[in-house]
C-alpha cells in the first residue's frame, strides 16, 4: 500500500497519519505550538528546505489545520496560525515530547517543559477516561472496530494472502 492511500482507509489513525504523520509535519507543528508563525522562522527552527516547507504548509492549510494570513502587503508575506482543528493536535505532540523525555537521554535535562498557566506548576500529559476521570493506559482499555473497519481489514488480509501465494508459485 502506498502512503497516498491512507486517507482512503476506514481507520482514524491512518487518516491522522496521512494528515500529519510525516516527520516534517510534526516538526512544523512543534514550531507552530512554540509560537512561530512566519515561514522563515519555521524554516529556521526546523531546518526544512523552503520547497518542502511550502509543500507541507499547503497540505496543512488544505487539511484545515492551519490558516494563512497576510501580515505584510508589499511584498505580500503570510503567517500561519493554528485553527481549532490544529490546536486539537496539541496532546499528540505533548505525548511525543513526554515519551522522549522519559525514554531519551538528556544529559543537560529535559529540553522542553510544560507549565500550566492556571496553577503555575510543571505538568505533563495525563490521559483519563472521559466518563469516570480515572487515569488510563493501553492495558486499561479494549478497542472496538466498526463493521466497516473489520471488512476493510479482512479484505486487506485476503489481498496479502493472494500476494504471498502468487510469490510462492
pLDDT at 129: 96
Chain segment 11-67, per-residue pLDDT in tens: 888 888 888 888 999 999 999 999 999 999 999 999 999 999 999 999 999 999 999
CA separation, residue 61 to residues 24, 50, 90, 103, 129 (Å) = 15, 16, 17, 33, 32
For the chain, what are the domain ranges?
Answer: 3-88+126-168
| pLDDT of 4 strictly over 80 | no
Confidence class for position 144, pLDDT limits 50, 70, 90: very high
pLDDT at 66: 98
Chain segment 65-115, per-residue pLDDT in tens: 999 999 999 999 999 999 999 999 999 999 999 999 999 999 999 999 999
CA-atom Rg of the chain in angstroms: 20
In this prediction the pTM is 0.84
The CATH classification number of 3-88+126-168 equals 1.10.10.10
- Please state, in angstroms and rounded to a whole number, the distance separating the CA atoms of residues 156 and 64: 30
Q: Burial code of 7-37, b = ≥16 C-beta within 10 A, e = fewer?
A: eebebeebeebbbbeeebbebbbbbbbeebb
pLDDT at 6: 82
Amino acid at each position: 500500500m502506498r502512503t497516498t492511500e491512507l486517507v482512503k482507509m476506514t481507520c482514524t489513525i491512518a487518516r491522522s497519519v496521512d494528515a500529519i504523520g510525516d516527520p516534517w509535519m510534526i516538526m512544523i507543528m512543534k514550531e507552530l505550538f512554540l509560537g512561530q508563525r512566519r515561514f522563515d522562522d519555521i524554516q529556521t527552527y526546523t531546518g526544512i528546505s523552503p520547497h518542502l516547507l511550502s509543500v507541507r504548509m499547503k497540505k496543512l492549510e488544505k487539511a484545515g489545520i492551519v490558516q494563512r494570513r497576510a501580515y505584510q502587503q508589499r511584498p505580500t508575506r503570510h503567517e500561519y496560525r493554528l485553527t481549532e482543528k490544529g490546536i486539537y493536535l496539541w496532546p499528540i505532540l505533548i505525548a511525543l515530547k513526554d515519551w522522549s523525555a522519559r525514554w531519551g537521554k538528556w544529559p543537560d535535562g529535559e529540553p522542553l517543559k510544560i507549565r500550566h498557566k492556571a496553577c503555575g506548576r510543571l505538568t505533563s500529559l495525563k490521559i483519563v477516561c472521559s466518563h469516570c476521570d480515572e487515569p488510563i493506559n493501553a492495558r486499561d482499555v479494549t478497542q472496538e472496530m466498526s463493521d466497516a473497519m473489520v471488512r476493510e481489514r479482512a479484505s486487506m488480509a485476503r489481498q496479502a494472502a493472494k500476494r504471498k501465494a502468487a510469490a510462492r508459485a
